[in-house]
Structure 1
C-alpha cells in the first residue's frame, strides 16, 4: 500500500506542474551565503506548495577516481545507501531499515555520482515534525555511512554481471571506445570494468568519503516553502555529522582535457543488425562564455530533432539513418561534442561521409538567419518547462552553484538567448569544432 505522505507528495508535485507557469515567469531571486563551516548555500523561497527540495554537491565525482579504480565515486555513492553507523542512542541501520525509515517519512533521499560531483537529493514535506526527522536521517547517510563489506561483495558481483551484459551491446562498445579516444588519459575517459571494481574495497570508499566530503566543500541548493533562517538550519543539519575538523585545503587540480591532434577512425567488428557510429571531439567547459551561441548552433545542426540539418540530410533526403543527433556535454572540463546515429552496416561509410560534410559546411558557414530565429523561438518557448516544479528548479539552482554562474542566470537566460547573433554562432563553432581532427568510431560497420 502506498504511504499516505508519499501520496501527498505526489499530488503536490502534480499541482506544482499546474502552478509552474506562474513560477517560471516570475523573478527567481537566489539568496546565497557562506556558513561558518565554509559550506555555500543557495536558496530560493517558493511558497506555493509545502515541499522542500535540497541538493548537496561535493567535488567528488568520477574526475576524482584514481587511475586504477575507475568507478570509485559511483560505487561510493551507491554504497552510502546500504547502511549507517550507530551514533549514541541512534541504532545502526542496514539498507532494509533505511528503506523502511524513508518510507515511513514519505520522503525521498538519493545519493548519486556523475563525472564531476557526488550529489545528495532530498525531498520532504516542509511540515517541521516530518522535515526534522528527514534531515536527521539524511545527515546520518551523508556523514556516517557504514560501507558494509558483505554488501559490497554482493554489489560488486551485480556490477560485474551488469558490465558483462552491457558488453554484449554494440552501443556500449561504441561509447567506451569513443570516450577513451576523445578523452585519452583524462578521468572523463575512465572505464569501469571488472579489473577496476576488483581493486576497490570498502576501505577505499571510506577514504574517498573522508577525503572529499566535508562541510567546507559542500554546495547546498534549497528550494521550498521556508524562509532564509530555516534554509540555513537545513544546510547545517544535513552536514552536521560530517567531520567538523576536516581538511579544507584546496583539492589537487584535475588536468584539462587535451585537444585532439589528428583525426582517428576506429572500426570495431561486431555482429549487429545496425552499425553504431559516433563522431566527435572534446567540446567546452560549462563556464565557457560561448555556451549560449553553441547551444543555439547545435540546435540547428543536430539537436533540434526533425528540424535539424543532420536529420534533414541524413534521414529525410538520403534515408541513411532513422535518427541522427549532435550534442555537447560540458562539465567542469571540456565534455565531448558528438554526432551519433545507427545505420545499416553496409551504408555506414556513406552515412559518415555525409554527416561530416554537413558538419563541415555548418562550421564553415554557420546557420541562416531563419534557422537561428527558429532555434531561439523553440528554446525560449520551452524555457518555462525547465522551471515548472520545485525539483527542476533546485536542479537549475544547483547548476548555477556548481558552475559558479551569475545568481541572476535564470532571470537573464531569455535575454541572453535573444541577444546571440549569427556572427557569434559562426565564430564559436569555428573556434570550438575541428572536423579535420575528430574521432570516428564505427561498431559493426561493413567495409
Structure 2
C-alpha cells in the first residue's frame, strides 16, 4: 500500500502537498477538543491533504508509575499489550493490519504509554483497523507464552546494556539526578524476572483507564465521525482516574560519580533536574540552549570542546521537560585520558553561559533557526499527531503551536540569563563519568 501511494504521487502533487502543509503550519493548527461521556479527553485536527487517519491514545502509564520493587512493569505491560487481544492472536492482528495497509505502534516512556494507529480513512478499512485498536485497548490477552517470551527478551536486553558504557552512564545519571523519585528507578534483570502475568494485568486495570486516557485524532475525518470514534474507543476501558504524581524532592547537592570500565572511550554526562512541561521558562531555555549546545556545529560547546581542543567528535546539551522537572544534560564521549579535562571545559562553558548568556548575534541566529525550522515539525499527519498528543497529555495551551514562533521571537538576552540562573546551579550539578582515568 505504501508503494502504491508513493508511486501515485507525481512531482507536482508532492510540491503542492508540501506547500499546503507549510501554509497550514504558518496559518496555525485548529485543535478541536472535548471530553467523552466516560471522561476521556479528546483532541481532533481535521486534515484532508491525504486519505489517512492517525489515532493515538495516551495514558499516564509510564515507568514513573512502576510500583516499588517492580521496576520495568510499565514497559513490559505496553510491550505485551498489542500482542494478542480479543478474538485475535498476535499473528491475526499483524496479518489483518498488513491486509488493510494499516500500522499499529506506540510505546512507553518515563511519563506515558501510548497506542497509535495509522490507517486509510476509507470507512470500510478504517472500521476494521479501529476494531483492532479497540480490542487492544479493551481486551488485551497477556497470553502466558507471549508474556514469558517478551520478559526473556527484556531481560536479555537489560543484561546487554550492563556491558555498554553509554547505557551504564545513562542509568547512573538518572539514578543520581532522581535518588528519591521514580524517575530514578531503573529496571534490572532481577526486577523484570520477578514480574508475573498477574502484575501486567493489574497494572493495565489500574492505569489504562478511561479517566486516564487522552485520545488524539488527526486526518481525513469529520468532527461527527471523530466524536463517534473517540466515544467507541473510550467505552470499554477500565474505569479509573489519573494516578497521583509523586512528590518531587528538593534541590540536589552536586556529586561526581565515576564508574570504572575497560572501554577506550569515556562517556561523560553533566546536568541536573530542570523544568517540567509547560514551565514559563521553557522558551528562554531552549533559545539559549541552541547557542550553548543544541545548535550543532554553531554551538559553543561544539566550537570549544571539539573544534578548538579536539576533545570529542560530538558534544551536545538539551533540556528534556517531563510531567515533573526533567533533566538538563550535557553529554560527550572522549578518550579516557582526556575525560577530566573535557568535563572541566564543558562545565566552565556552561557556568560562563549561565552568567553571561548569549550575544545578541547568537540570540538572533538561534531565533532564526528555531522559527525557520518550526514548519518542518508539522509537515506530516504523524508529526502533527505527535505534537497535538503531547500538548494534550502535558496540559499545554491548545494554541501552543500558534504561539510557538512568537514566543521564540520574544526572548531576550536578559530572559535567557535569568532563566539559566534560575535552573542551573553550580552546587547542584551532577557529573557521571564511565571509563575515565
With the shorter chain as reference, the TM-score category is over 0.9
1:79 equivalenced with 2:76 (yes/no): no
Give the whole-Å Cα distance in 2 for the aligned partners of 1:188 and 1:76: 18
What is aligned with 1:88?
none
1:361 equivalenced with 2:376 (yes/no): no
RMSD: 1.6
**Which stretch has the larger CA shift, 156-165 or 121-130?**
156-165
1:247 equivalenced with 2:240 (yes/no): yes
Give the whole-Å Cα distance in 2 for the aligned partners of 1:212 and 1:12: 42
Q: Identify the match of residue 281 of structure 1 among 242, 247, 272.
A: 272
Q: How many residues align?
A: 432
1:159 equivalenced with 2:154 (yes/no): yes
State the 1:436 CA deviation: 2.6
Q: Identify the match of residue 7 of structure 1 among 3, 15, 32.
A: 3
What is aligned with 2:434?
443
What is aligned with 1:56?
57
What is aligned with 1:389?
380
What is aligned with 1:307?
298
What is aligned with 2:35?
34
What is aligned with 1:336?
327
Contact 2:210 2:240 in 1 (8 A): no
Contact 1:58 1:218 in 2 (8 A): yes
Q: What TM-score, normalized by structure 2, do the two folds share?
A: 0.95
Report the CA distance shift for 1:344/1:175 in structure 2 as closer, same or farther (over 3 A). Answer: same
Contact 2:36 2:234 in 1 (8 A): no
Q: Identify the match of residue 417 of structure 1 among 408, 412, 417.
A: 408
Report the CA distance shift for 1:329/1:393 in structure 2 as closer, same or farther (over 3 A). Answer: same
* Secondary structure of the structure 2 residue equivalent to 1:401: helix
* Secondary structure of the structure 2 residue equivalent to 1:413: helix
* Secondary structure of the structure 1 residue equivalent to 2:56: strand
Cα deviation, 1:92-118, whole Å, max 9, x if unaligned, reads 222111111111111111141111111
Cα deviation, 1:313-354, whole Å, max 9, x if unaligned, reads 111111111111111111101111111001110111111111
Contact 2:208 2:237 in 1 (8 A): yes
State the 1:401 CA deviation: 0.5
State the 1:199 CA deviation: 2.1
Report the CA distance shift for 1:439/1:145 in structure 2 as closer, same or farther (over 3 A). Answer: same
Contact 2:63 2:71 in 1 (8 A): yes
State the 1:431 CA deviation: 0.4
Contact 2:319 2:328 in 1 (8 A): yes
Contact 1:215 1:242 in 2 (8 A): yes
* Secondary structure of the structure 2 residue equivalent to 1:285: coil
What is aligned with 1:89?
none
Q: Identify the match of residue 195 of structure 2 among 182, 186, 200.
A: 200
State the 1:241 CA deviation: 3.2
Give the whole-Å Cα distance in 2 for the aligned partners of 1:393 and 1:413: 14
State the 1:6 CA deviation: 4.1
Report the CA distance shift for 1:196/1:184 in structure 2 as closer, same or farther (over 3 A). Answer: same
Give the whole-Å Cα distance in 1 for the aligned partners of 2:280 and 2:216: 23
Q: What TM-score, normalized by structure 1, do the two folds share?
A: 0.93
Give the whole-Å Cα distance in 1 for the aligned partners of 2:396 and 2:70: 32
What is aligned with 2:66?
65
1:110 equivalenced with 2:101 (yes/no): no
State the 1:259 CA deviation: 2.1
* Secondary structure of the structure 1 residue equivalent to 2:279: coil
What is aligned with 1:211?
206
* Secondary structure of the structure 2 residue equivalent to 1:323: strand
The unaligned stretches of length 5 or more in structure 1 are 86-91
Contact 1:67 1:190 in 2 (8 A): no
Contact 1:78 1:111 in 2 (8 A): no
Give the whole-Å Cα distance in 2 for the aligned partners of 1:336 and 1:75: 24
Contact 1:59 1:217 in 2 (8 A): yes
